[in-house]
Amino acid sequence: MLGDRIELRRVFTNLIGNAIKFTNQGYVNISLRCVDNFIAIAIQDTGSGISIQEQKVLFERFRTGKKQGSGSGLGLYLSKRIIEEHHGYIKVVSETGKGSKFTIYMPL
């Protein structure tokens, strides 16, 4: 995989930091696997989770965070943009009270 080390580090710092910030109990798990011609990097937590309504605007530029300690959401917006600039994409699967899983797909 080729990419801008500084920008990709920014993405992983943001996603892993969010997982830690919103997980009071349980775990944060990071996994890596190959899927077709992509590397899939998953950051999964057992934190507070994200409602369906919040997921719809999760990657927008200046959304307002509703959870205590959440910011403007700019980090997720920038992370998505950086991943797309590397010709990849990001998916989120989450359920309120059961945690979240963000998976980044980067081309090989």
Q: Does domain 5-96+103-107 have CATH number 3.30.565.10?
A: yes
- Is the pLDDT confidence value at 105 over 60? yes
What tens digit of pLDDT does each residue of 23-64 get? 999 999 999 999 999 999 999 999 999 999 999 988 987 655
Q: What is the pLDDT of residue 71?
A: 55
CA-CA distance, 1 to 75, in Å (whole number)? Answer: 23
Q: Label residue 59 left, alpha or beta by phi (over 0 means left) and psi (-120 to 50 means alpha).
A: alpha
Cα atoms in the Cβ-side hemisphere of radius 13 Å centred on 30: 9
In whole angstroms, give the CA distance from residue 100 to residue 48: 8
Residue 59, number of CB atoms within 10 A of its CB: 16
How many angstroms from the chain centroid is the CA of residue 104? 7
- Give tens-digit pLDDT for 69-92: 555 568 999 999 999 999 999 999
